[in-house]
Amino acid sequence: SLKAFIFDLDGVITDTAEYHFLAWKALAEELGISFTREDNEQLKGVSRMDSLEKILELGSRTGDFSADEKQALAEKKNEHYLTLIQNITPDDLLPAIKELIADIKTSGLKLGLASASKNAFTVMESLGLKAEFDGIVDAKTVAHGKPHPEVFLRAAEMLGVEPEACISIEDAAAGIQAIKAAGMFAVAVGPKESFENADIVYASTAELSLEKIIEVYNG
Protein backbone atom coordinates (compact mmCIF):
# COMPACT_ATOMS: atom_id res chain seq x y z
CA SER A 1 0.00 0.00 0.00
CA LEU A 2 0.97 3.62 -0.50
CA LYS A 3 3.67 4.95 1.83
CA ALA A 4 5.31 7.94 0.16
CA PHE A 5 5.33 10.69 -2.43
CA ILE A 6 8.56 11.60 -4.19
CA PHE A 7 8.77 14.93 -6.01
CA ASP A 8 10.97 16.21 -8.78
CA LEU A 9 11.98 19.82 -8.03
CA ASP A 10 12.54 21.94 -11.16
CA GLY A 11 9.24 22.45 -12.97
CA VAL A 12 7.13 20.56 -10.42
CA ILE A 13 7.57 22.29 -7.06
CA THR A 14 8.73 25.61 -8.47
CA ASP A 15 9.27 27.19 -11.87
CA THR A 16 13.06 26.88 -11.95
CA ALA A 17 12.69 24.93 -15.23
CA GLU A 18 12.15 28.37 -16.79
CA TYR A 19 15.37 29.72 -15.24
CA HIS A 20 17.36 26.71 -16.49
CA PHE A 21 15.95 27.43 -19.97
CA LEU A 22 16.83 31.14 -19.85
CA ALA A 23 20.38 30.43 -18.68
CA TRP A 24 20.97 27.78 -21.37
CA LYS A 25 19.46 30.03 -24.04
CA ALA A 26 21.85 32.87 -23.14
CA LEU A 27 24.84 30.52 -23.33
CA ALA A 28 23.65 29.01 -26.63
CA GLU A 29 23.23 32.46 -28.14
CA GLU A 30 26.72 33.42 -27.07
CA LEU A 31 27.99 30.36 -28.94
CA GLY A 32 25.91 31.23 -32.01
CA ILE A 33 23.65 28.21 -31.51
CA SER A 34 19.91 28.64 -31.98
CA PHE A 35 18.05 27.12 -29.01
CA THR A 36 14.27 27.16 -28.72
CA ARG A 37 11.76 26.32 -26.00
CA GLU A 38 11.01 23.16 -27.98
CA ASP A 39 14.69 22.16 -27.96
CA ASN A 40 14.65 22.77 -24.21
CA GLU A 41 12.02 20.05 -23.65
CA GLN A 42 14.73 17.44 -24.29
CA LEU A 43 16.90 18.99 -21.56
CA LYS A 44 14.39 18.79 -18.72
CA GLY A 45 15.62 16.43 -16.03
CA VAL A 46 18.98 16.08 -17.80
CA SER A 47 22.23 16.76 -15.90
CA ARG A 48 24.23 19.96 -16.41
CA MET A 49 27.03 18.41 -18.51
CA ASP A 50 24.67 16.24 -20.58
CA SER A 51 22.53 19.32 -21.24
CA LEU A 52 25.61 21.22 -22.48
CA GLU A 53 26.52 18.30 -24.79
CA LYS A 54 23.00 18.31 -26.24
CA ILE A 55 23.17 22.05 -26.93
CA LEU A 56 26.60 21.74 -28.58
CA GLU A 57 25.20 18.89 -30.71
CA LEU A 58 22.33 21.16 -31.81
CA GLY A 59 24.92 23.59 -33.17
CA SER A 60 27.23 20.81 -34.45
CA ARG A 61 29.94 22.19 -32.16
CA THR A 62 30.66 19.16 -29.96
CA GLY A 63 34.22 18.86 -31.28
CA ASP A 64 35.07 22.54 -30.89
CA PHE A 65 35.79 22.50 -27.15
CA SER A 66 38.17 20.67 -24.83
CA ALA A 67 36.90 19.01 -21.66
CA ASP A 68 38.18 21.99 -19.64
CA GLU A 69 36.44 24.45 -21.93
CA LYS A 70 33.17 22.50 -21.62
CA GLN A 71 33.56 22.60 -17.85
CA ALA A 72 33.97 26.38 -18.05
CA LEU A 73 30.87 26.75 -20.26
CA ALA A 74 28.79 24.67 -17.82
CA GLU A 75 30.13 26.77 -14.94
CA LYS A 76 29.15 29.96 -16.78
CA LYS A 77 25.60 28.70 -17.30
CA ASN A 78 25.40 27.80 -13.63
CA GLU A 79 26.60 31.22 -12.48
CA HIS A 80 23.88 32.82 -14.59
CA TYR A 81 21.32 30.33 -13.20
CA LEU A 82 22.39 31.19 -9.63
CA THR A 83 21.72 34.88 -10.25
CA LEU A 84 18.25 33.99 -11.58
CA ILE A 85 17.31 31.93 -8.49
CA GLN A 86 18.68 34.30 -5.88
CA ASN A 87 15.32 35.93 -5.16
CA ILE A 88 13.30 32.71 -4.77
CA THR A 89 11.03 32.75 -1.71
CA PRO A 90 8.31 30.49 -0.26
CA ASP A 91 5.87 32.46 -2.47
CA ASP A 92 7.39 30.82 -5.55
CA LEU A 93 5.72 27.42 -5.25
CA LEU A 94 3.79 26.39 -8.38
CA PRO A 95 -0.05 26.33 -8.08
CA ALA A 96 -1.53 23.71 -5.68
CA ILE A 97 1.89 22.44 -4.56
CA LYS A 98 1.66 23.91 -1.07
CA GLU A 99 -1.74 22.29 -0.55
CA LEU A 100 -0.61 18.95 -1.99
CA ILE A 101 2.41 18.81 0.31
CA ALA A 102 0.24 19.69 3.31
CA ASP A 103 -2.32 16.99 2.37
CA ILE A 104 0.42 14.36 1.96
CA LYS A 105 1.80 15.16 5.41
CA THR A 106 -1.66 15.16 7.02
CA SER A 107 -2.28 11.73 5.50
CA GLY A 108 0.79 10.38 7.31
CA LEU A 109 2.62 9.67 4.06
CA LYS A 110 6.37 10.29 3.72
CA LEU A 111 7.74 13.02 1.52
CA GLY A 112 10.86 12.72 -0.64
CA LEU A 113 12.72 14.73 -3.28
CA ALA A 114 14.59 13.26 -6.26
CA SER A 115 16.34 16.02 -8.21
CA ALA A 116 18.85 15.95 -11.06
CA SER A 117 20.08 19.38 -9.96
CA LYS A 118 23.19 20.09 -7.91
CA ASN A 119 21.40 23.23 -6.73
CA ALA A 120 18.45 21.35 -5.24
CA PHE A 121 19.29 21.99 -1.57
CA THR A 122 19.76 25.72 -2.22
CA VAL A 123 16.39 25.99 -3.96
CA MET A 124 14.59 23.88 -1.32
CA GLU A 125 16.08 26.12 1.39
CA SER A 126 14.90 29.29 -0.40
CA LEU A 127 11.41 27.81 -0.77
CA GLY A 128 11.35 27.06 2.97
CA LEU A 129 10.77 23.37 2.22
CA LYS A 130 14.00 21.71 3.30
CA ALA A 131 12.78 20.73 6.75
CA GLU A 132 9.37 19.61 5.44
CA PHE A 133 10.88 16.72 3.49
CA ASP A 134 11.84 13.37 5.05
CA GLY A 135 14.51 12.70 2.43
CA ILE A 136 16.24 14.71 -0.28
CA VAL A 137 18.48 13.20 -2.97
CA ASP A 138 20.21 15.53 -5.43
CA ALA A 139 22.62 15.16 -8.35
CA LYS A 140 25.68 15.53 -6.11
CA THR A 141 25.33 12.02 -4.74
CA VAL A 142 24.07 9.89 -7.62
CA ALA A 143 26.20 8.20 -10.30
CA HIS A 144 23.55 7.96 -13.03
CA GLY A 145 21.23 10.75 -14.12
CA LYS A 146 17.61 10.40 -15.19
CA PRO A 147 16.27 8.39 -17.12
CA HIS A 148 18.27 5.98 -14.93
CA PRO A 149 16.14 5.13 -11.86
CA GLU A 150 18.94 5.65 -9.31
CA VAL A 151 17.84 9.01 -7.89
CA PHE A 152 14.28 7.76 -7.27
CA LEU A 153 15.47 4.44 -5.80
CA ARG A 154 17.83 6.30 -3.47
CA ALA A 155 15.01 8.57 -2.34
CA ALA A 156 12.77 5.55 -1.56
CA GLU A 157 15.64 3.96 0.32
CA MET A 158 16.16 7.12 2.34
CA LEU A 159 12.46 7.11 3.25
CA GLY A 160 12.66 3.41 4.14
CA VAL A 161 9.90 2.38 1.73
CA GLU A 162 9.64 -0.01 -1.22
CA PRO A 163 9.46 1.53 -4.74
CA GLU A 164 5.98 0.01 -5.31
CA ALA A 165 4.74 2.00 -2.30
CA CYS A 166 5.80 5.30 -3.90
CA ILE A 167 4.04 7.77 -6.15
CA SER A 168 6.48 10.09 -7.92
CA ILE A 169 5.80 13.35 -9.77
CA GLU A 170 7.79 14.69 -12.75
CA ASP A 171 7.59 17.29 -15.53
CA ALA A 172 10.35 15.72 -17.68
CA ALA A 173 10.17 12.81 -20.12
CA ALA A 174 13.51 11.55 -18.77
CA GLY A 175 12.05 11.77 -15.26
CA ILE A 176 8.94 9.73 -16.05
CA GLN A 177 11.17 7.09 -17.63
CA ALA A 178 13.26 7.04 -14.45
CA ILE A 179 10.18 6.64 -12.24
CA LYS A 180 8.81 3.74 -14.30
CA ALA A 181 12.27 2.09 -14.40
CA ALA A 182 12.28 2.34 -10.58
CA GLY A 183 8.99 0.42 -10.45
CA MET A 184 6.99 3.36 -9.10
CA PHE A 185 3.63 4.94 -9.97
CA ALA A 186 4.27 7.97 -12.21
CA VAL A 187 2.40 11.28 -12.23
CA ALA A 188 3.38 13.61 -15.08
CA VAL A 189 2.82 17.36 -15.29
CA GLY A 190 2.75 18.75 -18.83
CA PRO A 191 1.38 18.03 -22.31
CA LYS A 192 -0.24 14.58 -22.57
CA GLU A 193 1.58 13.62 -25.79
CA SER A 194 4.98 13.90 -24.04
CA PHE A 195 4.25 11.21 -21.47
CA GLU A 196 3.13 7.93 -22.99
CA ASN A 197 4.22 5.77 -20.07
CA ALA A 198 2.97 7.92 -17.19
CA ASP A 199 0.16 6.54 -15.00
CA ILE A 200 -1.60 9.93 -14.84
CA VAL A 201 -0.91 13.16 -16.73
CA TYR A 202 -1.98 16.62 -15.52
CA ALA A 203 -1.67 19.64 -17.80
CA SER A 204 -0.45 21.79 -14.89
CA THR A 205 0.27 21.51 -11.17
CA ALA A 206 -2.95 23.45 -10.50
CA GLU A 207 -4.88 20.25 -11.29
CA LEU A 208 -2.97 17.97 -8.92
CA SER A 209 -5.26 16.45 -6.30
CA LEU A 210 -4.11 13.94 -3.68
CA GLU A 211 -7.50 12.26 -3.58
CA LYS A 212 -7.65 11.67 -7.34
CA ILE A 213 -4.06 10.43 -7.57
CA ILE A 214 -4.57 7.95 -4.73
CA GLU A 215 -7.81 6.72 -6.33
CA VAL A 216 -5.99 5.87 -9.58
CA TYR A 217 -3.03 4.37 -7.65
CA ASN A 218 -5.39 2.04 -5.78
CA GLY A 219 -6.97 1.08 -9.12
- H helical segments located in 66-148: 67-84, 97-106, 120-126
Confirm whether residue 66 is marked as ligand binding.
Answer: no
Kindly state whether residue 177 participates in binding ligand G6P, applying the rule CB under 6 A: no
In the region spanning residues 17 to 36, those forming contacts with ligand G6P, defined by CB under 6 A, are 17, 20
Q: Could you tell me which residues come within 8 angstroms of residue 219 by beta carbon, excluding any fewer than 6 positions away? A: none
x/- track of binding to ligand G6P for residues 145-174 (CB under 6 A): ---------------------------x--
Percent helix / strand / coil, the chain, rounded to 5: 50, 15, 35
Kindly state whether residue 138 participates in binding Mg ion, applying the rule CB under 5 A: no
Q: How many CB atoms lie within 10 A of CB 97?
A: 20
10 is catalytic: yes
Interface residue with Mg ion among 10, 138, 150, 199 (CB under 5 A) is 10
State how far the alpha carbon of 13 is from the alpha carbons of 42, 59, 144, in Å. Answer: 19, 31, 22
Kindly state whether residue 51 participates in binding ligand G6P, applying the rule CB under 6 A: yes
Interface residue with ligand G6P among 13, 19, 44, 124 (CB under 6 A) is 44
